[in-house]
Every structure is written in C-alpha cells, then in structure tokens.
Amino acid sequence: MRQLRGEDARFVYAESGNANSNITLIHIYDPSTAPGGRVRFKGLLKHIESRLHLSPIFRQKLLHVPLEIDYPYWIEDERFDLEYHVRHVSLPNPGDWRQFCIQASRIHARSMDLNRPLWELYLVEGLDTFLDLPPDSFAILTKIHHAAIDVNGGAEITTLLHDTTALPPHAEPPEPWFPESPPGAGSLLVRAAIHNIVQPFMVVAPLTRMVRRVAPVVLGTLRESFYHPERLPITRFNSEVSPHRVYESRRFTIDEFKKIRSLVPSSTINDAVLAVCGGALRRYLLTHDELPGPSLVSIAPMSIRNADSGVSGPSDISMLRVPLGTEIVDPVKRLRSIHKHTSSTDEIGQAVGAKELTDITKHAPAATLAVSARLLAGSALGLGQRAPIASCMVTNVPGPSIPLYLNGARMTYFSAIMPISDGMGLVFAVTSYDGKIIISPTSCREQIPDPEFFALCIRD
C-alpha cells in the first residue's frame, strides 16, 4: 500500500463532468512482421497478463480516506479482472483515419471507474485504408489516469509492454499474485491524524523557497493583466470545454525539424516545434477571422531537451510561458522570437523549478488541495477569463528512439491524447519515436469543430 503524492492527488480532485484527467497513448502496428502476419485478441490478453507484474499500476486502485482528510492510497484490487481492462473494438468500413480519430476521441473522453485500477487498453481493428499500412493493421489505445502516471511515464508503460525484436521471448507463466487486504477506516484515520500533524512543518521550507522565486513573476503577470490586458488575448480556447473531445495528428521526421532549427543559430528542436504550433494557430484563427493582434502564449510543461538527445528525467521538467509569435507573418522571424524567449532568464520555467512545485504539493494538506484543485479546474491556471496566462499548452510525451514490437508486430506510430479543462481547451502533445516527431492537438468538439483543417494548418 502506498499513498498518492500531492501532485498526483490533484488530478483526482480536479475531475469534473466536462473534464477528466485521462492520458491516452496511441500506438499503431504493422502486423506483417508478427508470426502468421496477425495479432489476435487472445494472444494480446496472454501477453499483457505476462507483463502485469512489471508495474504496480495495473492491479492497484484508489482507496479514499474518510472525509478526505488525507490523500488517497493505492491498494491492490482484490477483484482485479483483466478482461474488464482490455477491450476489443473495430472501425466500420472503410476504416479510415478520420473514423479512427473519432473513435479514439470518444474512448479518451469517457471517465474511468475510480473504484478500479485506473487504466484501460483497447485493441482497435479495421484500420484498412491507412496510408503505408498493410491489411489487418491495428492500433492499441492505452488510457491511463494522470494520477497513476506522469507524462514521462508514458514511455515506461510503452516500453514494458513491448519488445525490441520481432521475435518475442518465450512467454513465462504468469507470476502468482496474492492481493493484500485493504486497511480499515480506523487505521486510515490514525494515519491521517499523524500526517496532518507533521505536514504543516514539512511544507514551510519548500513554500518559503517557492514564494521567493515565484512572487516577482506572479506580480508581474498580474500587473500585465490589469494594466495591459491586450498582451494576454482571450481566444476560443479559453472558454468552457464540453465533454466531447477531438484529436488529430500529423507526422514529421526529426530531420525536418533539424532543418527548421538550423534557420536560427542556437535554436533547438523544441523551439522549432513551438514555432510550428504558433504558425498553425495563426493560420487557423486567421481563417476564422479570430486572430488577435497580440501574440498567443503557450504554457509548455515539457522535458526541455532535444528530441534526438535520448535523455530525459524529472529534473528536466520546466514550466515555460512562451509567446508563440502568432502576430508574426514570417515563420523564420517567428522562430527567432520564440528562441529569444525560451533562452531568456525571466520566464516562468526559470522562476519556478519542478522541485519547488513538487515539494509544495507533496506536503500540502489533502483537504486544502482537494478544494483548490476543484476551484482551479474552472480557469486557465486560476487567473480566470479576464486574464488567462496562456492560450494553449504544448507538452512533450517522450517516446522510444528505437523500433518496438508487440507480439511481433512492429509499432509504426506513437502519439497521445491529453487532458484539457475549462480555460485551457487546447493541448498539443508532441511525441517522438523512431526518427519521427508527431504533433497531436487535443481539444473540445465545440472549440475545434473542424479538426482535419486544424491538422492541415499544422502541416502547412
């Protein structure tokens, strides 16, 4: 039994009727390399069963403390049922990309049962008219609650379900599993009482460090909001979201982005990605006659590394507030502007390190965090509709750099659908895999009713 950290518990507390905290990892496969040229559902079940012991999230569910006076715990699900979590669907004819995006969006939008382990896996067949894929190609959608896994953990889950060769190792018999009995309410209340006595003392040091670093940035942002509201434009993406999701995606090679970044000395692949996202937003909003004069701004809670560096870790996570240069017509000038901001020293990313935020949420009282998470869920990072901090979010979901195989089928595509919320209705997931970069926007059906056109704006 282990307790949720504060930064994970906030994803549980922030759930609402219109917005959940699901992350859906999307993998598409070429089955021609698998034995017999096909992967069957029964074989997939057997394969997943043989890997369940590799991560605790597969069999653990949440146990809430009475009255929510402490963070929930992860406990083993005594009634774990693999076939509840692994599901099988098929696209109708003709099985094209648009149908797949609609099906994936619907699956992602459904809230998960918080009384069971917080993951679901879907085998999606019928991908019969996908470009560059043979018949019988299929996809795996792995939906995981954000409380159970961080963004970097997506690569870990992907890795443990896959092999590095088309010849998978001989499947071992499933390891014996004997679930622990959950603690009683009395035991949980005693633990909570002890934690609530200790926590106020543990939070003082990280809170002091964060206030010293954050205060100048927060005051500067508020000053901009009240005296220069035109610098933080409100767009359709800063409104309420509906329960319906849209997802699209466009693939590029890493070499394409290397060529882009070479146009501005010392710029990075991340700068180039942000410039492409800014150009897409400019083109999309301009077409709809909604482009504001000032630049749109992105929050980028991403692993700040080059996509081809192969390294990442918790210490690499920063929160960058980056103007996307949507007011700039020339794309090279837009890239230069973005690089200037990402390399400066006065951005939120340099002011608020991941460690300070982690320390605060780790020790914040559970009841306080539960209330604040629900309040903040209705606005763009809490500053409300009058002065949103950002127009959208761009987040890096690291993927493996080498080809992976599932039961012998080669993975050809890796992307993600991300959580959105009121006031932050557009998130770009940027994934990398096997020499490719994939940019995948997630939004609300009411905010982007034409996702195919939005994806075309990314490509253009």
CATH (domain of 35) = 3.30.559.10
The answer to whether residue 301 sits within a structural domain is yes
The answer to whether residue 20 sits within a structural domain is yes
- Rounded to the nearest integer, the mean pLDDT of the chain is 80
Token pair of 324, please? Answer: 């996307």
| The pLDDT value given to residue 204 | 44
- Examine the domain organization and report whether 23 and 169 are in the same domain: yes
* Highest averaged pLDDT of the listed ranges 146-150, 363-367, 386-390, 443-447: 443-447
Map tokens 């509840």 to a residue: 84
Question: Read out DSSP for 318-364?
Answer: EEEEEE--TT-SSHHHHHHHHHHHHTSSSSHHHHSBHHHHHHHHHHS
- Examine the domain organization and report whether 208 and 124 are in the same domain: no
Compute and round to an integer the Cα radius of gyration of the chain.
Answer: 22
- Give the CA distances from residue 275 to residues 249, 257, 292, 325, 413, in Å, rounded to whole numbers and listed in that order: 17, 10, 17, 8, 23
pLDDT band at 362 (very low <50, low <70, confident <90, very high): very low
- Give the CA distances from residue 432 to residues 245, 339, 350, 411, in Å, rounded to whole numbers and listed in that order: 23, 21, 25, 13
| The pLDDT value given to residue 139 | 96
Average pLDDT over residues 375-384: 43
- Examine the domain organization and report whether 112 and 224 are in the same domain: no
The answer to whether residue 292 sits within a structural domain is yes
| The pLDDT value given to residue 330 | 97
- Examine the domain organization and report whether 218 and 176 are in the same domain: no
The answer to whether residue 403 sits within a structural domain is no
Domain end call among 154, 187, 220? 187
Distance CA 108, CA 24 (A): 6
Which residues span the domain enclosing 252? 202-398+425-459
The answer to whether residue 446 sits within a structural domain is yes
- Examine the domain organization and report whether 356 and 225 are in the same domain: yes
pLDDT band at 105 (very low <50, low <70, confident <90, very high): very high
Instruction: Single out the residue of 220, 216, 236 nearest to residue 228, CA to CA.
Output: 220
User: Of the ranges 4-13, 89-98, 208-217, 375-384, which one carries the lowest mean pLDDT score?
Assistant: 375-384
- Examine the domain organization and report whether 217 and 157 are in the same domain: no
Q: Are strands 73-76 and 405-406 parallel, antiparallel or unpaired?
A: unpaired
- Examine the domain organization and report whether 139 and 229 are in the same domain: no
Token pair of 67, please? Answer: 């009255």
User: Contact 304/319 with Cβ under 8 angstroms?
Assistant: no
The total of structural domains in the chain comes to 2
Domain end call among 131, 156, 187? 187
The answer to whether residue 449 sits within a structural domain is yes
Residue 6 has pLDDT above 70, yes or no: yes
Instruction: Single out the residue of 433, 416, 395, 394 nearest to residue 159, CA to CA.
Output: 433
- The residue among 217 and 256 whose pLDDT is bigger is 256
Distance CA 312, CA 309 (A): 8
pLDDT digits (tens, 9 = 90+) for 41-71: 999 999 999 999 888 889 999 988 877 778 8
The answer to whether residue 91 sits within a structural domain is yes
- The residue among 237 and 354 whose pLDDT is bigger is 237
pLDDT digits (tens, 9 = 90+) for 195-204: 666 555 444 4
| The pLDDT value given to residue 79 | 92
Distance CA 404, CA 414 (A): 10
User: Contact 396/151 with Cβ under 8 angstroms?
Assistant: yes
- Examine the domain organization and report whether 382 and 435 are in the same domain: yes
Domain end call among 161, 187, 213? 187
The answer to whether residue 211 sits within a structural domain is yes
- Examine the domain organization and report whether 312 and 389 are in the same domain: yes
- Examine the domain organization and report whether 179 and 324 are in the same domain: no
Q: Are strands 405-406 and 392-397 parallel, antiparallel or unpaired?
A: unpaired
- Examine the domain organization and report whether 173 and 209 are in the same domain: no
Residue 175 has pLDDT above 80, yes or no: no
Q: What percent of the chain has pLDDT over 90?
A: 51
- Examine the domain organization and report whether 141 and 209 are in the same domain: no
| The pLDDT value given to residue 403 | 93
CATH number of the domain that residue 359 is part of: 3.30.559
Q: Is the bond into 117 cis (omega within 30 degrees of 0)?
A: no
Classify each residue of 420-433 as buried b or exposed e, where b means 16 or more C-beta atoms within 10 Å of its C-beta.
Answer: bbbbbbbbbbbbbb
